[in-house]
Structure 1
Amino acid sequence: MSRRLTPYPPGHSAIDFSAAFAAALQRGDGACVARRTHPVVAVLCDLSVWRPWSADAHALIDAPERARVDRLRDAADREERALAYALHRFLLGAWLREAPAQVPLYRDEAGRPRLSGMHAHVCTSLSHPRGFAAFALSDAGSVGIDLEPVAHAGAMEEIARLATHADEREALAHLDDADRADALLAIWVRKEAYLKAEGVGLQRPPSTFAAPAGVPLPATEVAAGLEVRMLDAGTGHKAAIALPVGSDVQVVWWWPPASP
Protein backbone atom coordinates (compact mmCIF):
# COMPACT_ATOMS: atom_id res chain seq x y z
CA MET A 1 0.00 0.00 0.00
CA SER A 2 1.39 3.40 -0.90
CA ARG A 3 0.88 5.88 1.93
CA ARG A 4 2.78 8.87 3.19
CA LEU A 5 3.66 8.42 6.85
CA THR A 6 4.03 11.29 9.30
CA PRO A 7 7.08 11.29 11.58
CA TYR A 8 6.67 9.98 15.09
CA PRO A 9 6.75 12.64 17.81
CA PRO A 10 9.78 12.71 20.14
CA GLY A 11 9.60 10.00 22.77
CA HIS A 12 6.86 8.15 20.91
CA SER A 13 8.55 4.80 21.39
CA ALA A 14 8.24 5.29 25.15
CA ILE A 15 4.57 4.28 24.76
CA ASP A 16 4.70 0.57 25.51
CA PHE A 17 3.60 -2.03 23.00
CA SER A 18 0.39 -2.90 24.90
CA ALA A 19 -0.71 0.74 24.99
CA ALA A 20 0.12 1.24 21.32
CA PHE A 21 -1.81 -1.87 20.38
CA ALA A 22 -4.80 -0.91 22.55
CA ALA A 23 -4.88 2.49 20.84
CA ALA A 24 -4.70 0.82 17.42
CA LEU A 25 -7.72 -1.32 18.32
CA GLN A 26 -9.83 1.83 18.52
CA ARG A 27 -8.83 3.16 15.10
CA GLY A 28 -11.24 2.89 12.21
CA ASP A 29 -12.20 -0.69 11.37
CA GLY A 30 -9.69 -2.13 13.84
CA ALA A 31 -12.37 -2.59 16.48
CA CYS A 32 -13.76 -5.50 14.42
CA VAL A 33 -10.92 -7.66 15.79
CA ALA A 34 -11.77 -7.21 19.47
CA ARG A 35 -15.52 -7.26 18.83
CA ARG A 36 -15.34 -10.17 16.39
CA THR A 37 -17.87 -8.51 14.12
CA HIS A 38 -16.94 -10.74 11.16
CA PRO A 39 -16.24 -14.49 11.10
CA VAL A 40 -13.00 -13.85 9.19
CA VAL A 41 -10.69 -10.84 9.42
CA ALA A 42 -7.63 -10.06 7.31
CA VAL A 43 -5.19 -7.59 8.88
CA LEU A 44 -2.44 -5.93 6.83
CA CYS A 45 0.50 -4.10 8.44
CA ASP A 46 3.31 -1.87 7.28
CA LEU A 47 5.97 -3.01 9.75
CA SER A 48 8.02 0.16 9.37
CA VAL A 49 5.47 2.13 11.40
CA TRP A 50 5.63 -0.43 14.22
CA ARG A 51 9.43 -0.30 14.39
CA PRO A 52 9.57 1.86 17.59
CA TRP A 53 8.36 -1.26 19.45
CA SER A 54 10.81 -3.76 17.97
CA ALA A 55 12.66 -4.30 21.26
CA ASP A 56 9.36 -4.85 23.08
CA ALA A 57 8.27 -7.27 20.36
CA HIS A 58 11.30 -9.54 20.80
CA ALA A 59 10.64 -9.76 24.53
CA LEU A 60 6.95 -10.61 24.03
CA ILE A 61 7.28 -13.61 21.71
CA ASP A 62 7.80 -17.13 23.03
CA ALA A 63 10.92 -19.30 22.90
CA PRO A 64 10.09 -21.19 19.64
CA GLU A 65 9.29 -17.88 17.94
CA ARG A 66 12.54 -16.33 19.18
CA ALA A 67 14.44 -19.35 17.87
CA ARG A 68 12.92 -18.86 14.41
CA VAL A 69 13.76 -15.15 14.56
CA ASP A 70 17.33 -15.74 15.70
CA ARG A 71 18.00 -18.12 12.81
CA LEU A 72 17.68 -15.22 10.35
CA ARG A 73 21.03 -13.77 9.31
CA ASP A 74 19.99 -10.19 8.58
CA ALA A 75 19.33 -7.91 11.59
CA ALA A 76 16.52 -6.04 9.80
CA ASP A 77 14.84 -9.36 8.96
CA ARG A 78 15.09 -10.43 12.61
CA GLU A 79 13.53 -7.16 13.76
CA GLU A 80 10.65 -7.42 11.31
CA ARG A 81 9.98 -11.08 12.01
CA ALA A 82 9.82 -10.41 15.76
CA LEU A 83 7.36 -7.56 15.12
CA ALA A 84 5.23 -9.80 12.91
CA TYR A 85 5.13 -12.57 15.53
CA ALA A 86 4.33 -10.12 18.35
CA LEU A 87 1.56 -8.43 16.36
CA HIS A 88 0.14 -11.86 15.57
CA ARG A 89 0.01 -12.68 19.27
CA PHE A 90 -1.62 -9.35 20.13
CA LEU A 91 -4.23 -9.74 17.39
CA LEU A 92 -5.06 -13.27 18.54
CA GLY A 93 -5.19 -12.05 22.14
CA ALA A 94 -7.73 -9.38 21.19
CA TRP A 95 -9.74 -11.92 19.18
CA LEU A 96 -9.73 -14.50 22.00
CA ARG A 97 -9.90 -11.98 24.88
CA GLU A 98 -6.68 -13.42 26.29
CA ALA A 99 -3.39 -11.81 27.28
CA PRO A 100 -0.93 -12.15 24.37
CA ALA A 101 1.42 -14.29 26.47
CA GLN A 102 -1.48 -16.67 27.23
CA VAL A 103 -2.45 -17.28 23.60
CA PRO A 104 -1.96 -21.05 23.04
CA LEU A 105 -0.19 -20.63 19.72
CA TYR A 106 2.05 -23.33 18.27
CA ARG A 107 3.20 -24.72 14.90
CA ASP A 108 1.98 -28.09 13.69
CA GLU A 109 4.18 -30.62 11.84
CA ALA A 110 3.64 -28.76 8.57
CA GLY A 111 4.67 -25.45 10.15
CA ARG A 112 1.13 -24.02 10.15
CA PRO A 113 0.25 -21.76 13.11
CA ARG A 114 -2.45 -23.42 15.23
CA LEU A 115 -4.24 -22.81 18.52
CA SER A 116 -4.76 -25.45 21.16
CA GLY A 117 -7.18 -26.22 23.98
CA MET A 118 -10.49 -24.38 24.17
CA HIS A 119 -9.43 -22.16 21.25
CA ALA A 120 -8.51 -24.99 18.87
CA HIS A 121 -11.50 -24.16 16.64
CA VAL A 122 -10.04 -20.72 15.82
CA CYS A 123 -7.89 -20.75 12.69
CA THR A 124 -5.14 -18.33 11.76
CA SER A 125 -2.51 -17.65 9.11
CA LEU A 126 0.24 -15.11 8.49
CA SER A 127 2.49 -13.88 5.71
CA HIS A 128 5.52 -11.63 6.18
CA PRO A 129 7.25 -10.35 3.05
CA ARG A 130 10.00 -7.82 3.75
CA GLY A 131 8.62 -4.69 5.39
CA PHE A 132 5.02 -5.90 5.69
CA ALA A 133 2.87 -8.54 7.34
CA ALA A 134 -0.59 -9.98 6.75
CA PHE A 135 -2.66 -11.94 9.26
CA ALA A 136 -5.91 -13.89 8.97
CA LEU A 137 -8.15 -14.80 11.92
CA SER A 138 -11.15 -17.09 11.47
CA ASP A 139 -14.04 -18.50 13.49
CA ALA A 140 -15.46 -20.03 10.30
CA GLY A 141 -12.82 -22.72 9.63
CA SER A 142 -9.48 -23.10 7.86
CA VAL A 143 -7.91 -19.92 6.55
CA GLY A 144 -4.75 -18.98 4.66
CA ILE A 145 -3.32 -15.63 3.62
CA ASP A 146 -0.51 -14.55 1.35
CA LEU A 147 1.00 -11.14 0.59
CA GLU A 148 3.65 -10.54 -2.06
CA PRO A 149 5.31 -7.35 -3.43
CA VAL A 150 4.33 -6.52 -7.01
CA ALA A 151 8.09 -6.13 -7.61
CA HIS A 152 8.22 -9.94 -7.60
CA ALA A 153 5.97 -10.11 -10.66
CA GLY A 154 8.92 -9.81 -13.04
CA ALA A 155 10.53 -12.93 -11.60
CA MET A 156 7.40 -15.10 -11.83
CA GLU A 157 8.13 -16.19 -15.41
CA GLU A 158 11.08 -18.20 -14.10
CA ILE A 159 8.74 -20.49 -12.15
CA ALA A 160 5.62 -20.16 -14.32
CA ARG A 161 5.55 -23.82 -15.38
CA LEU A 162 6.04 -25.01 -11.79
CA ALA A 163 3.39 -22.63 -10.42
CA THR A 164 0.60 -22.96 -12.97
CA HIS A 165 -1.89 -25.59 -14.02
CA ALA A 166 -2.41 -26.37 -17.73
CA ASP A 167 -5.74 -24.48 -17.73
CA GLU A 168 -4.03 -21.41 -16.29
CA ARG A 169 -1.19 -21.59 -18.81
CA GLU A 170 -3.72 -21.61 -21.64
CA ALA A 171 -5.36 -18.42 -20.32
CA LEU A 172 -1.98 -16.75 -19.75
CA ALA A 173 -0.89 -17.42 -23.32
CA HIS A 174 -3.24 -14.71 -24.59
CA LEU A 175 -1.79 -11.93 -22.40
CA ASP A 176 0.96 -9.44 -23.16
CA ASP A 177 4.12 -9.53 -21.01
CA ALA A 178 2.99 -6.98 -18.39
CA ASP A 179 -0.48 -8.47 -17.91
CA ARG A 180 0.98 -11.98 -17.86
CA ALA A 181 3.43 -11.08 -15.07
CA ASP A 182 0.61 -9.49 -13.07
CA ALA A 183 -1.66 -12.50 -13.59
CA LEU A 184 1.11 -14.93 -12.63
CA LEU A 185 1.66 -13.14 -9.33
CA ALA A 186 -2.08 -13.19 -8.64
CA ILE A 187 -2.16 -16.94 -9.32
CA TRP A 188 0.80 -17.43 -6.99
CA VAL A 189 -0.74 -15.59 -4.01
CA ARG A 190 -4.04 -17.42 -4.46
CA LYS A 191 -2.30 -20.80 -4.45
CA GLU A 192 -0.09 -19.90 -1.50
CA ALA A 193 -3.18 -18.83 0.47
CA TYR A 194 -5.02 -22.03 -0.43
CA LEU A 195 -2.10 -24.32 0.41
CA LYS A 196 -1.65 -22.55 3.76
CA ALA A 197 -5.34 -23.07 4.56
CA GLU A 198 -4.94 -26.74 3.68
CA GLY A 199 -1.82 -26.96 5.86
CA VAL A 200 0.32 -28.62 3.19
CA GLY A 201 2.37 -25.73 1.81
CA LEU A 202 4.37 -26.59 -1.28
CA GLN A 203 4.20 -30.31 -0.49
CA ARG A 204 1.35 -30.22 -3.01
CA PRO A 205 2.83 -28.97 -6.31
CA PRO A 206 1.02 -25.78 -7.44
CA SER A 207 1.02 -27.04 -11.02
CA THR A 208 -1.38 -29.87 -10.11
CA PHE A 209 -4.43 -27.65 -9.57
CA ALA A 210 -6.00 -24.37 -10.65
CA ALA A 211 -7.12 -21.80 -8.08
CA PRO A 212 -9.45 -19.27 -9.71
CA ALA A 213 -10.89 -16.57 -7.47
CA GLY A 214 -14.34 -17.23 -6.02
CA VAL A 215 -14.62 -20.86 -7.15
CA PRO A 216 -15.16 -23.62 -4.52
CA LEU A 217 -12.08 -25.79 -4.04
CA PRO A 218 -11.86 -29.08 -2.11
CA ALA A 219 -10.76 -28.87 1.52
CA THR A 220 -9.71 -31.49 4.03
CA GLU A 221 -11.09 -29.64 7.09
CA VAL A 222 -14.05 -27.68 5.68
CA ALA A 223 -17.04 -29.66 4.39
CA ALA A 224 -18.27 -26.82 2.15
CA GLY A 225 -14.81 -26.37 0.66
CA LEU A 226 -12.56 -23.33 0.41
CA GLU A 227 -12.62 -20.38 -1.94
CA VAL A 228 -9.81 -17.96 -2.67
CA ARG A 229 -10.37 -14.21 -2.95
CA MET A 230 -8.03 -11.43 -3.95
CA LEU A 231 -7.65 -8.66 -1.35
CA ASP A 232 -7.04 -4.97 -1.95
CA ALA A 233 -3.47 -4.54 -0.70
CA GLY A 234 -2.76 -1.23 -2.44
CA THR A 235 -0.52 -0.62 -5.42
CA GLY A 236 2.62 -2.20 -3.95
CA HIS A 237 1.39 -5.69 -3.15
CA LYS A 238 -0.81 -8.55 -4.26
CA ALA A 239 -2.74 -10.39 -1.55
CA ALA A 240 -5.17 -13.28 -1.38
CA ILE A 241 -7.08 -15.12 1.30
CA ALA A 242 -8.44 -18.67 1.31
CA LEU A 243 -11.48 -19.17 3.53
CA PRO A 244 -14.58 -21.35 3.83
CA VAL A 245 -16.97 -20.88 0.91
CA GLY A 246 -19.36 -17.96 1.42
CA SER A 247 -17.65 -16.58 4.54
CA ASP A 248 -17.85 -12.85 5.24
CA VAL A 249 -14.41 -11.23 5.58
CA GLN A 250 -13.34 -7.81 6.86
CA VAL A 251 -10.04 -6.36 5.59
CA VAL A 252 -8.18 -3.96 7.89
CA TRP A 253 -4.96 -1.94 7.58
CA TRP A 254 -3.41 -1.77 11.06
CA TRP A 255 -1.76 1.51 12.11
CA PRO A 256 -0.29 2.40 15.53
CA PRO A 257 -0.69 5.79 17.22
CA ALA A 258 0.70 8.77 15.27
CA SER A 259 0.53 7.04 11.89
CA PRO A 260 -2.02 8.43 9.44
Structure 2
Amino acid sequence: MTGAGAPRPVRLWWARLPGDPPRLRRLLDPVETARYEATTDPADRQRFLVGCALSRLVLGRILGLPAARVPLRRVCPRCGGPHGKPALDPAADPPGGLRFSVSHSGPTVGLAVCRGADIGLDVERADDPPDVDLVAPHILSAAELAVLRGLVPADRAGALLRYWTRKEAVLKALGIGLRLPPRRLEVSPPGEPARIERWQDRPGRVAELRLADLVVAEGHPAAVCVTGGAQPAITEEDAHALLSAVD
Protein backbone atom coordinates (compact mmCIF):
# COMPACT_ATOMS: atom_id res chain seq x y z
CA MET A 1 0.00 0.00 0.00
CA THR A 2 1.22 3.49 -0.82
CA GLY A 3 1.60 5.59 2.30
CA ALA A 4 2.39 9.23 2.99
CA GLY A 5 6.11 8.43 3.09
CA ALA A 6 6.26 6.34 -0.10
CA PRO A 7 6.20 7.80 -3.61
CA ARG A 8 2.82 7.81 -5.35
CA PRO A 9 3.05 5.98 -8.73
CA VAL A 10 1.76 8.21 -11.53
CA ARG A 11 1.52 7.04 -15.13
CA LEU A 12 1.72 9.75 -17.76
CA TRP A 13 0.92 9.80 -21.47
CA TRP A 14 1.63 12.69 -23.89
CA ALA A 15 0.01 12.79 -27.33
CA ARG A 16 0.27 15.09 -30.31
CA LEU A 17 -2.84 15.92 -32.30
CA PRO A 18 -3.05 13.36 -35.14
CA GLY A 19 -5.72 15.17 -37.12
CA ASP A 20 -9.37 14.24 -36.74
CA PRO A 21 -9.64 10.55 -37.65
CA PRO A 22 -13.16 9.04 -37.66
CA ARG A 23 -11.75 5.92 -35.94
CA LEU A 24 -11.25 7.91 -32.73
CA ARG A 25 -14.75 9.38 -32.86
CA ARG A 26 -16.18 5.87 -32.62
CA LEU A 27 -14.85 5.64 -29.07
CA LEU A 28 -16.96 8.54 -27.76
CA ASP A 29 -20.16 8.07 -25.77
CA PRO A 30 -23.30 10.11 -26.59
CA VAL A 31 -22.45 12.91 -24.13
CA GLU A 32 -18.93 13.24 -25.52
CA THR A 33 -20.18 13.07 -29.10
CA ALA A 34 -22.65 15.90 -28.46
CA ARG A 35 -19.94 18.06 -26.94
CA TYR A 36 -17.56 17.23 -29.77
CA GLU A 37 -20.14 18.18 -32.40
CA ALA A 38 -21.01 21.41 -30.57
CA THR A 39 -17.37 22.56 -30.52
CA THR A 40 -16.89 24.87 -33.47
CA ASP A 41 -13.15 25.54 -33.36
CA PRO A 42 -11.37 22.70 -35.23
CA ALA A 43 -8.32 22.68 -32.94
CA ASP A 44 -10.45 22.63 -29.79
CA ARG A 45 -12.50 19.83 -31.30
CA GLN A 46 -9.37 17.77 -32.01
CA ARG A 47 -7.97 18.35 -28.51
CA PHE A 48 -11.24 17.21 -26.94
CA LEU A 49 -11.38 14.14 -29.17
CA VAL A 50 -7.82 13.05 -28.44
CA GLY A 51 -8.25 13.66 -24.70
CA CYS A 52 -11.40 11.51 -24.62
CA ALA A 53 -9.93 8.77 -26.81
CA LEU A 54 -6.67 8.58 -24.87
CA SER A 55 -8.53 8.45 -21.54
CA ARG A 56 -10.76 5.65 -22.76
CA LEU A 57 -7.92 3.62 -24.24
CA VAL A 58 -5.73 3.88 -21.13
CA LEU A 59 -8.52 3.28 -18.61
CA GLY A 60 -9.93 0.46 -20.70
CA ARG A 61 -6.55 -1.27 -20.69
CA ILE A 62 -6.24 -0.89 -16.91
CA LEU A 63 -9.80 -2.08 -16.23
CA GLY A 64 -9.91 -4.79 -18.89
CA LEU A 65 -12.74 -3.08 -20.80
CA PRO A 66 -13.16 -2.03 -24.45
CA ALA A 67 -12.37 1.67 -24.71
CA ALA A 68 -15.87 2.58 -25.92
CA ARG A 69 -17.39 0.88 -22.85
CA VAL A 70 -15.37 2.66 -20.18
CA PRO A 71 -18.07 4.35 -18.03
CA LEU A 72 -16.97 7.97 -17.70
CA ARG A 73 -19.03 10.66 -15.99
CA ARG A 74 -18.77 14.43 -16.52
CA VAL A 75 -20.99 16.02 -13.89
CA CYS A 76 -20.49 19.69 -13.06
CA PRO A 77 -20.53 20.11 -9.23
CA ARG A 78 -22.24 23.49 -9.56
CA CYS A 79 -25.02 22.93 -12.10
CA GLY A 80 -25.09 19.17 -12.63
CA GLY A 81 -24.45 19.57 -16.36
CA PRO A 82 -22.33 17.11 -18.39
CA HIS A 83 -19.23 19.30 -18.52
CA GLY A 84 -17.50 18.67 -15.18
CA LYS A 85 -14.16 17.01 -14.47
CA PRO A 86 -14.30 13.52 -16.03
CA ALA A 87 -14.30 10.62 -13.60
CA LEU A 88 -14.92 6.89 -13.63
CA ASP A 89 -18.24 5.54 -12.47
CA PRO A 90 -17.29 4.00 -9.09
CA ALA A 91 -19.09 0.79 -10.02
CA ALA A 92 -16.49 0.16 -12.75
CA ASP A 93 -13.58 0.11 -10.30
CA PRO A 94 -14.71 -1.79 -7.18
CA PRO A 95 -11.43 -1.38 -5.24
CA GLY A 96 -11.78 2.36 -5.79
CA GLY A 97 -9.11 4.99 -6.05
CA LEU A 98 -8.37 5.06 -9.79
CA ARG A 99 -8.14 8.75 -10.71
CA PHE A 100 -7.05 10.59 -13.84
CA SER A 101 -6.59 14.09 -15.21
CA VAL A 102 -6.47 15.39 -18.79
CA SER A 103 -4.81 18.58 -19.96
CA HIS A 104 -4.15 20.06 -23.39
CA SER A 105 -2.54 23.11 -24.88
CA GLY A 106 -1.75 23.77 -28.53
CA PRO A 107 -1.02 20.42 -30.21
CA THR A 108 -0.20 18.64 -26.93
CA VAL A 109 -2.62 16.46 -24.96
CA GLY A 110 -1.65 14.86 -21.66
CA LEU A 111 -3.19 12.20 -19.42
CA ALA A 112 -2.07 11.37 -15.87
CA VAL A 113 -3.42 8.36 -13.95
CA CYS A 114 -2.87 7.14 -10.39
CA ARG A 115 -4.54 5.09 -7.68
CA GLY A 116 -5.37 6.12 -4.16
CA ALA A 117 -5.17 9.88 -4.65
CA ASP A 118 -6.83 12.67 -6.56
CA ILE A 119 -4.66 14.03 -9.35
CA GLY A 120 -4.40 17.17 -11.45
CA LEU A 121 -2.33 17.72 -14.61
CA ASP A 122 -1.71 20.98 -16.46
CA VAL A 123 0.35 21.82 -19.55
CA GLU A 124 0.81 25.21 -21.23
CA ARG A 125 2.30 26.41 -24.50
CA ALA A 126 5.77 27.94 -24.27
CA ASP A 127 5.54 29.28 -27.83
CA ASP A 128 2.48 31.44 -27.09
CA PRO A 129 3.41 33.26 -23.86
CA PRO A 130 0.85 35.36 -21.96
CA ASP A 131 0.95 39.12 -21.51
CA VAL A 132 2.83 39.12 -18.22
CA ASP A 133 1.80 42.61 -17.08
CA LEU A 134 -1.86 41.89 -17.80
CA VAL A 135 -2.11 38.33 -16.47
CA ALA A 136 0.31 38.11 -13.55
CA PRO A 137 -1.67 40.25 -11.03
CA HIS A 138 -4.67 37.92 -11.43
CA ILE A 139 -2.60 34.77 -10.84
CA LEU A 140 0.20 35.64 -8.44
CA SER A 141 0.29 36.70 -4.81
CA ALA A 142 2.15 39.84 -3.77
CA ALA A 143 5.20 37.77 -2.82
CA GLU A 144 5.14 35.89 -6.12
CA LEU A 145 4.77 39.13 -8.07
CA ALA A 146 7.84 40.49 -6.32
CA VAL A 147 9.84 37.44 -7.37
CA LEU A 148 8.59 37.71 -10.95
CA ARG A 149 9.41 41.40 -11.23
CA GLY A 150 12.91 40.72 -9.92
CA LEU A 151 13.66 38.59 -12.97
CA VAL A 152 15.04 39.97 -16.22
CA PRO A 153 12.15 40.70 -18.62
CA ALA A 154 13.09 37.86 -20.97
CA ASP A 155 12.55 35.28 -18.19
CA ARG A 156 9.24 36.52 -16.87
CA ALA A 157 6.84 34.82 -19.29
CA GLY A 158 8.42 31.40 -18.68
CA ALA A 159 8.35 31.95 -14.92
CA LEU A 160 4.69 32.96 -15.04
CA LEU A 161 3.83 29.78 -16.97
CA ARG A 162 5.67 27.70 -14.38
CA TYR A 163 3.73 29.38 -11.57
CA TRP A 164 0.50 28.85 -13.46
CA THR A 165 0.98 25.16 -14.28
CA ARG A 166 1.69 24.42 -10.61
CA LYS A 167 -1.40 26.27 -9.42
CA GLU A 168 -3.67 24.86 -12.10
CA ALA A 169 -2.51 21.32 -11.30
CA VAL A 170 -3.50 21.87 -7.64
CA LEU A 171 -6.90 23.32 -8.53
CA LYS A 172 -7.59 20.47 -10.95
CA ALA A 173 -6.56 17.82 -8.44
CA LEU A 174 -9.22 19.09 -6.06
CA GLY A 175 -11.81 19.72 -8.78
CA ILE A 176 -11.99 23.41 -7.90
CA GLY A 177 -11.09 25.04 -11.20
CA LEU A 178 -11.05 28.81 -10.98
CA ARG A 179 -13.76 29.07 -8.36
CA LEU A 180 -11.03 30.16 -5.91
CA PRO A 181 -8.61 32.99 -6.78
CA PRO A 182 -5.23 31.52 -7.87
CA ARG A 183 -3.39 34.46 -6.31
CA ARG A 184 -4.40 33.20 -2.83
CA LEU A 185 -2.53 29.96 -3.47
CA GLU A 186 1.24 30.45 -3.15
CA VAL A 187 3.77 28.03 -4.62
CA SER A 188 7.56 27.97 -4.64
CA PRO A 189 9.50 30.20 -7.06
CA PRO A 190 10.10 28.71 -10.52
CA GLY A 191 13.80 28.06 -9.89
CA GLU A 192 13.05 25.87 -6.85
CA PRO A 193 11.48 22.40 -6.53
CA ALA A 194 7.70 22.55 -6.88
CA ARG A 195 5.82 22.81 -3.60
CA ILE A 196 2.92 24.67 -2.02
CA GLU A 197 3.98 27.39 0.39
CA ARG A 198 0.57 28.43 1.70
CA TRP A 199 -3.08 28.60 0.67
CA GLN A 200 -5.37 31.14 2.27
CA ASP A 201 -8.55 29.37 1.16
CA ARG A 202 -7.53 25.79 2.00
CA PRO A 203 -4.83 25.98 4.73
CA GLY A 204 -5.71 22.55 6.06
CA ARG A 205 -4.98 20.84 2.74
CA VAL A 206 -1.45 22.12 2.12
CA ALA A 207 0.23 19.25 4.02
CA GLU A 208 -1.42 16.57 1.85
CA LEU A 209 -0.73 18.12 -1.57
CA ARG A 210 2.41 17.27 -3.54
CA LEU A 211 3.62 18.87 -6.77
CA ALA A 212 6.09 17.90 -9.48
CA ASP A 213 7.23 19.90 -12.50
CA LEU A 214 7.23 18.32 -15.95
CA VAL A 215 8.69 19.36 -19.30
CA VAL A 216 6.99 18.24 -22.48
CA ALA A 217 8.42 18.20 -26.01
CA GLU A 218 9.28 21.65 -27.37
CA GLY A 219 9.79 22.94 -23.83
CA HIS A 220 6.14 23.29 -22.89
CA PRO A 221 5.93 23.59 -19.08
CA ALA A 222 3.64 21.24 -17.17
CA ALA A 223 2.97 20.15 -13.61
CA VAL A 224 1.18 17.37 -11.78
CA CYS A 225 -0.35 17.42 -8.29
CA VAL A 226 -1.47 14.49 -6.15
CA THR A 227 -3.25 14.36 -2.81
CA GLY A 228 -2.41 12.07 0.09
CA GLY A 229 0.96 13.49 1.11
CA ALA A 230 3.12 11.26 -1.12
CA GLN A 231 5.41 12.71 -3.78
CA PRO A 232 4.47 11.58 -7.32
CA ALA A 233 6.80 9.03 -8.95
CA ILE A 234 6.19 9.50 -12.67
CA THR A 235 6.46 6.92 -15.41
CA GLU A 236 5.91 8.09 -19.00
CA GLU A 237 4.24 5.70 -21.44
CA ASP A 238 3.61 5.63 -25.20
CA ALA A 239 0.39 7.42 -26.17
CA HIS A 240 1.14 7.30 -29.89
CA ALA A 241 1.09 3.50 -29.97
CA LEU A 242 -2.31 3.39 -28.25
CA LEU A 243 -3.92 5.95 -30.55
CA SER A 244 -2.39 4.46 -33.70
CA ALA A 245 -3.67 0.98 -32.87
CA VAL A 246 -7.34 2.02 -32.96
CA ASP A 247 -9.04 0.42 -35.99
User: TM tier, shorter chain?
Assistant: 0.7 to 0.9
Q: Deviations over 1:234-259 (max 9, x none)?
A: 334111111133232213352238x9
Shift of residue 222 of structure 1? 7.7
Is residue 142–residue 222 contact of structure 1 (8 Å, CA) maintained in 2? no
State which drifts further: 146-155 or 85-94.
Answer: 146-155
Question: What residue ranges of structure 1 are gaps of 5+ in the alignment?
Answer: 1-37
Question: What residue ranges of structure 2 are gaps of 5+ in the alignment?
Answer: 1-7, 78-83
Counterparts in 2 of 1:87-126, with a 5 A limit?
A: 87-110=54-77, 111-118=84-91, 119=93, 120-126=96-102
Amino acid corresponding to residue 64 of structure 1 in structure 2: V
Pick the structure with more helix per residue.
1
TM-score by length of 1: 0.75
Counterparts in 2 of 1:190-229, with a 5 A limit?
A: 190-212=166-188, 213-215=193-195, 225-229=208-212
User: Do residues 148 (structure 1) and 118 (structure 2) align?
Assistant: no
Counterparts in 2 of 1:1-260, with a 5 A limit?
A: 39-48=9-18, 51=19, 54-110=21-77, 111-118=84-91, 119=93, 120-212=96-188, 213-215=193-195, 225-244=208-227, 245-256=230-241
Pick the structure with more strand per residue.
2
**Count of residue pairs the alignment pairs up:** 219
Query: Judging changes above 3 Å, is the alpha-carbon distance between structure 1 residues 214 and 130 closer, same or farther for their aligned structure 2 residues?
Result: closer
| Alpha-carbon distance in 2 for matches of 1:173, 1:56 | 48
State which drifts further: 189-198 or 67-76.
Answer: 67-76
Shift of residue 57 of structure 1? 1.1
Runs of 4+ deviating beyond 3 Å: 216-224
Is residue 211–residue 232 contact of structure 2 (8 Å, CA) maintained in 1? no
| Alpha-carbon distance in 1 for matches of 2:132, 2:68 | 39
| Alpha-carbon distance in 2 for matches of 1:104, 1:239 | 28
TM-score by length of 2: 0.79
